[in-house]
Amino acid sequence: MRLGWGRSSDVEDRFEKWIAQQHQRRVLAGETTPAGPHPDEAFLRDLACKSKKVSLSDPRVDHAATCPICMNRLLELREEYRSRARYWSWLGTAVAACAIIAIALVVWRVAVGRTPSTSTAVIAQTVNLFDTGVVRGEHPGQLQSVTLPAALIKLKIVLPRHSAPGQYLVAITRDQNGNGVIAEGLAGTEATGNQQQITANLDLRSAKEGQYFLSTTHEQDQAAYYYPLRIK
């Protein structure tokens, strides 16, 4: 049976590692005879970090490979080198993670800065139309100085005199023809004395400051009544 290339390579790697371990054991046990003087610390450091500056034909390499003193120092320097490599690898990962977090925070702050306020507080407002003349269609009635904030509104409307009870559609539109609906809601009437009142929840947070129209439409009357309104 022939071994595949991958398995053959694994066997060769294990065999070479075993030979290196046996040689190292013999050197550390003093079973070899080194030739020449001990190389200096700088050379051993270059050899430990596998520097390309060291030529394998240098006689100092043979000495370091057969001297127990130099071999011990080589092993110490090799462990220092590996520890520094692990430290710098960890530090690089940590710096990269911090950079990503910092960028994410900057992006988040920019996004928050560009996002308009979306307060969820509900503001109660009242519009009294009881004495307002109601005119259908394109002609708004006379509604003086009514302003609503761009927020969540709980709007109570006192309907014009003689308004019919029932369900009403309340809407905020851009014009008196019902175009550009900003917000709308359904509300049923409540009688208070001789007045009919309705209360609708309207979300005006996305509305820009400007002139709009408030309209009311009875469930049995498709004609809407429009009143000028300002949102600030």
Tokens 């040689």, located at residue: 23
- The Cα–Cα gap between 122 and 67 comes to 85
Answer for the pair 135, 225: CB distance below 8 angstroms, yes or no.
Answer: yes
Burial 116-155, CB ≥16 within 10 A → b, else e? eeeeeeeeebebebeebebeeeeebbebeebebebbbbeb
- Enumerate residue ranges in the chain where pLDDT < 70: 1-9, 11, 112-119, 133-145
Identity of the residue numbered 67: C
Nearest to 60 by CA among 49, 44, 72, 73: 44
Q: At what angle do helices 68-114 and 41-48 cross, to 10 degrees?
A: 60
Instruction: Tally Cβ neighbours within 10 Å of residue 108.
Output: 10
Q: In a 3-state reduction of DSSP, which class is residue 2?
A: coil
Tokens 């003087």, located at residue: 37
Identity of the residue numbered 149: P
197 bridge partner residues: 158, 190
Tens of pLDDT, residue by residue over 171-228, are 999 998 888 999 999 999 999 889 999 999 999 999 999 999 999 999 888 788 888 9
Q: Is the pTM of this model over 0.75?
A: no
E strand segments, 45-180:
122-128, 147-148, 152-158, 167-173
What pLDDT does residue 133 have?
61
Instruction: Tally Cβ neighbours within 10 Å of residue 209.
Output: 10
Q: Which helix (H) or strand (E) holds 190?
A: strand 190-192
Measuring CA to CA, how many Å separate 120 from each of 123, 151, 156, 184, 204?
9, 8, 19, 17, 11
What pLDDT does residue 223 have?
81
- The Cα–Cα gap between 222 and 199 comes to 20
Instruction: Tally Cβ neighbours within 10 Å of residue 171.
Output: 21
What pLDDT does residue 222 have?
74
Domains of the chain and CATH, by start: 32-88 (no CATH), 122-231 (2.60.40)
What pLDDT does residue 5 have?
42
What pLDDT does residue 9 have?
66
Answer for the pair 129, 227: CB distance below 8 angstroms, yes or no.
Answer: yes
